[in-house]
Structure formats: C-alpha cells, structure tokens
Amino acid sequence: MRHLNISKDADGVATITLDNADAPMNIISLDFVADMEEAIASVTADADVTGVILTSAKSAFMAGADLKYMVNAYDGMTKREHLGFSQKVSGMLRSIERSGKPWVAIIDGLALGGGLELALACHRRIATDNPGTAVGLPEVNVGLLPGAGGTQRLLRIAGVKAALDLLLSGRQIDAEEALSLGIVDEIAPAGDAAAKAKAWLATNPDPVKPWDVKRAKAPQPLGILVPSDAADYSMAAAMVAKKAGYNQPAAAAILKTVYEGAQLPIDKALSVESKYFAQLLGSPVARNIMRTSFISRKAAEKGARRPAGVPKSKVSKVGVLGAGMMGAGIAYVSAKAGIEVVLIDRDVPAAEKGRQYSAKVTQKLIAKGAMSQDKADAILGRITATDDFALLEGCDLIVEAVFEDLAIKAETTAKAEAVIPETAVFGSNTSTLPISELAKASKRPDQFIGIHFFSPVDRMSLVEVIMGQQTSAETLAKALDYVAQLRKTPIVVNDSRGFYTSRVFQTMIHEGAAMLGEGVPPAVIENAAKSIGMPVGPLVLLDELSFDLPLMIVDQAIEQEGDKYLVPAGVQTLRRMRDEIGRGGRKSGGGFYEYNEDGTKQLWKGLAEHFPVKGDWNIDDLKARFLYTQAVETVRCLEERVLETREDADLGSVYGWGFPLWTGGTISYIDTVGVPAFVREADRLAQLYGPRFSAPKMLRDMASEGKQFYPAGEAEEAVAQDRAELASS
C-alpha cells in the first residue's frame, strides 16, 4: 500500500499509519480510498484485532482532498461520477463506524477537510498539544462542502450552531476549542497519545456511534413547527448573503445540507450530503475557485514562471528607495522575511516615518496575539531608515518606490547604481510607467526589472513582475526568488503602458464613471459592481485614487499614441467632476462621495443635480459591462503578448484588483460563459455601449475553431484512470 502501513501488537491493537509515498502530505484520493478500504476490511475480518489506532507519519494528520483531481472532475467526469466519488469516500468512512471494532484517531498537526472527516468517523479522537494541531472543514473556501460525512457528523457532535459556524466560515480551530465542542475527546502530549489511545481501547469500549444505536433519533426530528435552532439557521442565512452574495453556491448548499440532514437518519442524511456535494463539484464555480486559488497559485509560488537553468539566489540585503506608503510596506515584508533593509527617503525624518509603519503593523499583531514582542523587535531592527545612499553598498536588490515621474526615478536610479554592486538587480515598483523607458537611466538595463507590489503590501499577496525589453532571464529569476522569499504570489508580464493589472483595472473604474455620465443612479452603479463580487464599487475606488491619476494616465497615452488610443468612456465624467465641478476625489476634499469627520462617507448629494437619472437602465447589462470590459481587455493583453499565460491572467485579476473569485479570473470567466457565447454578448454590448466591448480577433478565431483557454481535454485525460476505477466500483 502506497498510502498507509498496518501493524499489529500482541495486545490485539492494530495501528494504521497514514504515510503517502507520493507526496509530502496525506490527501484523499481514490488510490488512498482503495488502500483504506483494504485496511478496514483486513482489521474488521481479523478476530485477533481488538481495536485500531489511526495515526500519521507526516507532520500533519491529513490535509484534505486532492484538489487537482477535484478541479479536473468538472470537465473530466459526469454528474453521476461526481455523486459516485462522494458516495465512495463516505461509504469507506461508514465502514469504519460499522466495523465492530473501536477506532481511535490521533490528530497531531493539521486535520482538514477529508482529514477531519476521517477522524470524525473514528470512535474517539485524541489531539496532541502540538501548537500546530488544528482541525477544520474549509471546503466552503473552494466552492464545495464536506462530501464524506463532515456536515452530518459535525452537527450531531457539536450541534447546529457550532457546525454552521465552522462549515460556513471554513476556519481552523485549535485543540482546546475542538475539545470544548466535542470534536476531539482528549488532548495529550504527542509522546503520550498512543498510550492514551491504548488505555482507552483496553476499557473495551462500545464501538457503536450514537447515531447508529437502535431507534436513534435525528438531531431535529420531522414534525416540529418551530425548531429550537430556527434562529441559528436564520442568522446563518443572513451571514451567507452578506459574505458570499449570490454568486457562490457552496454556503447556501451547506445550509440546506445541514437543515435537511438534521431531520434524517444518518445514512439518508449522508445521501443528502452527497447529492449537494455532487451539485457543487459539477459547478464551474468550484472548478474556477480551486483552479485559480490553489492549483495555479501554488504553481506560481513554486516557480512556474522561473527561467530554467538559473541557479537559485537569495536576497540578504535590499535597498528600498522611497519611504511612502508603498516603500514602507515593502520594507516591512522584506524585514519580516529576514532580509536586512535600507529604507531611503529625502531626509531621515521621512525615512523614519516609513520605518514606523512596521512598528504600527507589528504592534497590532502583538495585540492580537499573532506576534511576539521579540519577533517585532527583530523586524524593526533589520530596517535602517536613512537619507544616505552610501548605505546601499552591498545590497543584492533595489526596489525603487518613489513618485511616478520619469525624471525623479531616473535621478534615483543613477544615485543608487553609483553605490550598489554590479551584480545587484534594480527593480522599480512603478504601476504604469514603461520599464524599458525607466531602464534607459540604468547602466545595466539587462538587470532592470519591474517589481509591482499592491497596497497595502503586508496584506496583498500578488506581485506583478514586469520584463523590460532588455531584462535578462537571470534578472527575472532573481526577482522571482525575492518574491518567493517574501512568500508572495508572482505573475510575469511584458512591458507596456499600465502592464496588465493597472491597464485592466482602469477599465472597471472608467466603466463606472461612464455609467454615471449616462444617467445611471450612483448607488445602483456601486451595488451592481458589488453584486457581481467586486469588493467595492468603482466610484469609491476613483475617489480613493483621486481623479488626477487616471486622467494623467489617459493624457500621457493620448500624447504618445494620438488617434490610435481608445479613450476610456469615463474620461468625460472625470474631467467634468474635477475641472468644472471642482471635486477631484477624497484627497481634494471629496469626489463622488462626501466624507465626515467621524470617518463615515456617503454619496455626494450634488451628483443628482449634475448627473440626473435618465431613462431606463438594465441591471443585468450593468453587471455584464463590469465583467466584460475587464475580460475583453485581458484578452487584448494576451493578444499583444503583454500576458503570456492564462494562469497569470487569472491570478492577476483575482489577487491584483479583486476580480470576483467565483469566476476564477478574467480568462476563466470567458471559458465559463463559453467563448462563442462570450463573443456574441461582447458584440451586443459593443453595439449598445461602444467599441471597447468588441471581441478581439483572438476570441473570434477561438470561437470559430471551437477552442477555449482551458481545454476540457486536459481534464478528461487527467481523470481517465480514476473514471475507470469509479465505474468498476
């Protein structure tokens, strides 16, 4: 067996040790299920076995399901096979419960998803006092629900309220909280857990679960007009609507599963769970979320875009030029990663102000119990705040984060390169200025690259790495190694105006401004954006940016490209707001919103006078416009080779500016709609609202050739063997 080992002691206790030979973690897969079925049958049939201890040889008990398999299941398997997968795993766990032998799970490290479901099927659970021991059912975060009994066992063990909290939040809980909820029965030192398990087995415990006792009642029997836990369901429904909206079906399915299952005997309840699990697994939403947020993201973090053949590098000392909001954040995440930081600004007080940002962040973490004072002191101790460029001597990498002005950046580059080693990489944190243009100020343009962080740097995981025309593969590799040190998610794009993220993000905010100019009520604009899953509306985003920045970008493009440049539809609204009405955004006192001294805000009442509501507006069209303008511009970026991979497109959109996760990203969204259908809708929107929606040639060619960005054949090939195994079972 490749996933576990079995041993038996003289006292009749069998130990099944989970130890996946093919991966660093134990995961639920059909191969694992087959091994477990064989092991369960073996110990069940062995009259000499008096009990079973289930443990792990890994640093974690079990991480959950094989997400690659789950992603491929959407295109590679039928709905009936989705149901069969859940029933197969669920049936395996039921065979533990009904084996006639008592089972004890020793949870040392993480037991998540299918790992916790496996432990819940055992008759006793002992958690170790290891600080890393935690349990949880995080399936909602990947668009699924626990499909092997997790919903039904949890509600029967911990009650409806606690079960809904854990299932709908997907949060992990430590051993102490798990003990208080009855999810584990005992906490023991790791070295004593096996002895504790044997001691319990020696008491000859009854291996029958409460729900398998003859005439056992369901947690919430049928026929009760107002269940005692009705308020819990009502509160949970409200929480689901607030958190997930109506684009992610997993939370609603969890509510239904718990409610329906609570009224049924265990086996019928498990059938209900499998039904809802299969519906979610057969939904593109779960596929999209898992593919982008786990498969593509982990691949990027492991170096999917890193050039082959370049030796690994490590940054020991980094120079951060500019101690404003971005520079201060970059300094913090670098110091947190163990890197020595020289933080430079125009004078020492300005640089020290940037250093104090790290002090504020660490103090908040200390207050939450998430960081020790010693660690905070060490982070601050790695940051040197100065105005002296000479201190950059010995830096492996420079990250320039000064004002978005070519002349200022050129002067800063020259000062730094006069000091830093010839081997050092120079990275610019610019969000819009072309890297190839900035590199002209460098003596070593092949070692010049864009390293674009997102604000706030300590909370945003994405880093957009931009290749200039002369940037070398070695420089790219070193930049990606630095991003990996910071434990952030990189995408790699090629040089152009706005690169990828800033270029596409602007289409969304300009679309909102255009809608206002057309006479759409501002509250409707904001709510339409939020209803598709955008974190905030375009008007509040424009206020936070200030109108100067998007207008400056547009003016530069008009100057450089002339008639070739397609002026965004919202420009007229922004110019009118700033130049005629005198409102340029929050920094200038207010824009689309007005701001109160207590920190609250509301839409400016004067908008009704200057942009009166006109005619009819279609809410579905508003939502489509937000989604399509971003997706179409992403395809243009692929067509122009600004983007080279579909994965970078999806990761950048979701983690760069908050394109809705349920879509999987701008490119996954097109595949979800279907390329031919997307082209038709894009053309309809173009006729109604302008040529910015017109489908690019790449999309039209794909539609005529029957192609998509993520071919279904990739998934079908990946699950071919598992399909045969499911069919035979």
> What is d(CA 37, CA 498) in angstroms, rounded to the nearest whole number?
55
**Torsion of Cα atoms, 197 then 202 then 203 then 209, to 10°:** 60
CB distance 174 to 133 below 8 Å: yes
CB distance 674 to 716 below 8 Å: no
C-beta neighbour count of 729 within 10 angstroms: 14
Q: Residue 365: is it exposed, middle or buried by C-beta count within 10 angstroms (0-12/13-18/19+)?
A: middle
DSSP, res 441: G
The catalytic residue among 3, 82, 452, 510 is 452
Beta strands in 94-234 (DSSP E): 103-107, 110-112, 124-128, 134-136, 173-174, 186-188
Beta strands in 95-251 (DSSP E): 103-107, 110-112, 124-128, 134-136, 173-174, 186-188
Beta bridge partners of 641: none
> What is d(CA 509, CA 490) in angstroms, rounded to the nearest whole number?
24
Write down the residue that tokens 């000064």 correspond to.
402
Write down the residue that tokens 């424009």 correspond to.
542
Helix axes 266-281, 150-158, angle to 10 degrees: 130
Taking the CA atoms of 384, 386, 390 and 396 in sequence, report the sign of the dihedral they define: positive
Beta bridge partners of 362: none
C-beta neighbour count of 35 within 10 angstroms: 20
CB distance 218 to 269 below 8 Å: yes
* 452 a catalytic residue: yes
CA neighbor of 253 nearest in space, from 228, 286, 294: 286
Taking the CA atoms of 271, 276, 279 and 282 in sequence, report the sign of the dihedral they define: negative
Task: Tell me how far apart the terminal alpha carbons of the chain are, to the nearest angstrom.
Answer: 19
For residue 712, give both structure tokens.
């279904």
What lies within 8 Å, CB to CB, of 694 at 6+ separation is: 632, 682, 683, 686
Q: DSSP string spanning 282-347?
A: TSHHHHHHHIIIIIIHHHHHTTTTSPTTPPP---SEEEEE--SHHHHHHHHHHHHTT-EEEEE-SS
Beta bridge partners of 448: 426
For residue 701, give both structure tokens.
């060619």
Name the 3-class secondary structure at 141: helix
State the pairing for strand pair 448-453/462-467: antiparallel
DSSP, res 643: B
- Amino acid (one-letter) located at 714: E
Write down the residue that tokens 């890994």 correspond to.
58
CA neighbor of 42 nearest in space, from 11, 10, 5, 89: 5
Active-site residues, by number, are: 452
